[in-house]
Amino acid sequence: MEKFCQSCGMPLSPANQGREQDGTKSTQYCQLCYIDGQWTEPKWSKNGNYFGH
């Protein structure tokens, strides 16, 4: 079953999955959005909504 990054919508593969702080793969976000348990480049609007990438 194909999964998609919940932030940017790009298809997730083992090669581009994000990583949690403990080193496990994230099943929800790609490594461009989320790596080592942190957002790579958070973008928040003035009213607090997350824009993604």
Interface ranges with Zn ion (CB under 5 A): 5, 7-8, 30, 33
Q: How far is the CB of 45 from Zn ion (least distance, A)?
A: 18
Q: Give the type of residue at 47.
A: N
Q: How far is the CB of 7 from Zn ion (least distance, A)?
A: 4
3-state helix, strand, coil split of the chain in percent (to 5) is 0, 35, 65
Q: Which is nearer to Zn ion, 8 or 13 (CB)?
A: 8
Q: Which two tokens stand for residue 44?
A: 């928040």
Q: Which is nearer to Zn ion, 1 or 11 (CB)?
A: 11
